[in-house]
Amino acid sequence: MIKQTLFSTDIYKVKVKQQEELKSFFVSNIESEYNVKGPNCDFCNVYSDYFSGARPVDWEDILPKYQSTIQEFLNEYGYKDSHNWKVGIDAWYNVTGKGGWGETHNHLSSPRTIQISAVHYVKYDPEHHTPTIFYNPSSDGIRSSAPTPITNNLPTMWPKEVVNADALEGDMIFFPPYLNHSIPVQKSDVPRITTAFNITITEN
């Protein structure tokens, strides 16, 4: 018997080279602000500069610290000749406190065309913090064709409907922007800090 996998979805995991410097900045400047102000997202209990009312940061100063990590991914992804491509990056931070969560969403709603999205686990302990959960793009088809509504109990050959991101602190995960994902409710008293990115790639 020969197995052939069709339409697999790849994500990439890279260690952020400036992890300690970035963690120190976000803990000192942003987590401390969250501890004073609390969340600025009413429906998700998250403190983020994606929403109004959060402390602004100078992303023009921060993004160069991610440059080598992002370029490592781009080389693997097929964009080795950086002089031929113009890379644009939108970024924001997220501090998720106890009770905070992230609704199921993707990154296709941006006004610009996005080739890839990413998340950096700035302050993250997998023993205490909730992971990012990714959803199979074929989830609707899996549910409608499954012999039981509980797809987790099906044989291993059956496609998984959801997968937890296997991440550690300092990891940066790159994923297709169409991939739905969410964050379950955070139960730890220690805030979880991530930075998120939408990356556009156009020809020079």
> How far is 33 from 25, CA to CA, in rounded Å?
12
Model-wide pTM > 0.75: yes
Percentage with pLDDT > 70 across the chain: 84
Q: Quick one: average pLDDT of 185-195?
A: 94
Say how many C-beta atoms besides its own lie within 10 A of residue 130's C-beta: 20
For 30, phi then psi, to 5°, come to: -105, -45
The answer to whether 168 and 121 are in contact (CB under 8 A) is yes
Render pLDDT for 80-118 as a digit per residue (tens, 0 to 9).
766 677 888 999 999 999 999 988 888 987 556 778 999
Residue 14's nearest CA partner among 119, 138, 134 is: 119
Residue 173's nearest CA partner among 123, 116, 126, 129 is: 116
Token code pair at residue 64: 């160069």
Q: What is the DSSP string of 111-160?
A: SS--SEEEEEEEE--TTTSPPPEEE-TTHHHHHHH-SSS-GGGS-TTSPP
Q: Please report which confidence band the pLDDT of residue 139 belongs to, taking 50, 70 and 90 as the band edges.
A: low
Structural domain boundaries of the chain?
14-132+167-203
> How far is 90 from 105, CA to CA, in rounded Å?
17
Q: Tell which CATH classification among 3.40.50.300, 1.10.357.10, 2.60.120.620, 3.40.50.720 matches the domain 14-132+167-203.
A: 2.60.120.620
Percentage with pLDDT > 90 across the chain: 52
Window from 19-33, 46-60, 67-81 with minimum mean pLDDT: 67-81
**pLDDT tops 60 at residue 26:** yes
